[in-house]
A = this chain, B = another copy of it.
């Protein structure tokens, strides 16, 4: 144990007779915290299943779980202790309450309940309130109260709040695209994107502009420049992206609606990782005007909620607003405002070859849902590997067409992972892209014909979210399998809903995905809701 003396200006409020070993243990623990000395921190906590560590967003119970949580942390505390209050409650029980301050003087608090075992004092309960910040900058670029008020008081979304992914135009704000240099060079937008307008007109207010993966070209939710929004369900796992900030803000209860985009899974993946309901709309159904593109052949607007009823209400509001504005092309029944005119699906299909892409613990949820829906088990009518390769080729080609010039002019603006992906994209030739488009034209027709008026049931993702500290090989393998699953709706241009079918705490984890016919988005979310 390395006992560290407090700085002289620390107020120590300890009664006479405070056991000497207690304060030594406290200062040693504090020193280990600041240096993220995991071994010493582990030793400072009482072994056993009863030990508790909580910070308001995550309560971890049991020594082993606390050790795992700590090992996965990437954000070191940056604060100093300014006052220590000690209360000795029994021979072997004491409480230490420590006031802490960040470098700028913002304040936090740490309480530890200590118990003396045979050889030393150890923490049995730790409660941490980190020094406050004006905003969680890993989740938000800008936030307001509200940032943009609703334009109607009494619409179907009155009282709801929206996190807008940093790809959408919001009047007066720049579009940041997940890259600080991009935001800094941007001009304030003159108009809201139509999707934002539709939500405002339906009575929802915009709370803020939420973080995205860099130029939306990732599904991890990790942004090397702006940070990683916290996964609200599993604080030591990645949040999923690229609609990461909208997903986290909604899962954490800061907003009721997360507005995002989905090119290759960017709504569905974070929804699955954070227990949300999420809709990727039919390609072309909702205007992408005012939305920074990634790959126009697949880019769609979508939204996430904690509640399936709200998912239905948002879908109704945006699709009907789009229909009124003439920017929606869809099945006739979908544009009627009478919800009774929208009929849910009666027939379902599932493909064992898709389900097999998921790990067993994830596949089981899909199998159960498929069985409950009496889904027909059918082989996939084509070569998903070839289709996926063609999808990646076209996505990469369009991504480079959209952003290559800017990326070339701004070396170092992107993190290694996204920069590498764009570097690969730069090597896709026009001829490669043309050949891949031909493959996808066929694939789209085959998949649409196969699903028909039915609803396809498949795993949303291949596995639960990788841990924050997972090695690259694990993450890449997971990513490759997940993208094969999500690509199907993407290249077919079909609507897809992520349906949470479990909770990480206690309940089995999982998310199942429903893919419907083009233009049946309002029906699809109702079909999904019936699974709640």
Interface residues of A (CB under 8 A from B): 11, 13, 15, 50, 52, 54-59, 61, 83, 85, 87, 89-90, 92-93, 95, 97, 99, 101-102, 104-109, 111, 113, 115, 124-125, 127, 129-137, 139-145, 147, 149, 171-174, 180, 183-184, 188, 207-208, 226, 249, 251-256, 306, 506
Contact = CB atoms under 8 A, between A and B. Distances in A.
Nearest to A137: B145
Contacts of A95: 113, 124-125
B134 A207 contact: yes
A125 B142 contact: no
A61 B140 contact: no
A324 to B, nearest CB: 24
A522 to B, nearest CB: 25
Most chain B CB within 10 A, of A113, A145, A171, A173, is at A145
A419 to B, nearest CB: 22
A129 B55 contact: yes
Contacts of A124: 87, 89, 95
A52 B140 CA distance: 34
A207 to B, nearest CB: 6
B106 A89 contact: no
A124 B95 CA distance: 10
Given A142-B144, A172-B172, A133 B254 contact: yes
A475 B144 CA distance: 31
Given A57-B107, A125-B87, A252-B106, A184 B52 contact: no
Contacts of A207: 134
Nearest to A133: B254
B61 A132 contact: no
30 contacts: A11-B506, A13-B61, A52-B87, A52-B97, A54-B109, A54-B111, A54-B129, A55-B109, A56-B107, A57-B107, A59-B83, A59-B97, A59-B99, A59-B109, A87-B124, A89-B93, A89-B113, A89-B124, A105-B253, A111-B111, A131-B253, A132-B252, A134-B136, A135-B135, A135-B143, A135-B208, A142-B144, A143-B144, A145-B226, A172-B174
A100 B132 CA distance: 19
Contacts of A142: 142-145, 147
Contacts of A56: 107-109, 129-132
A229 to B, nearest CB: 12
Nearest to A227: B145
Contacts of A101: 253
Nearest to A13: B61
Contacts of A144: 135, 140-143
A184 B153 CA distance: 12
Contact of A127 (B97, B180, B226, B255): B97
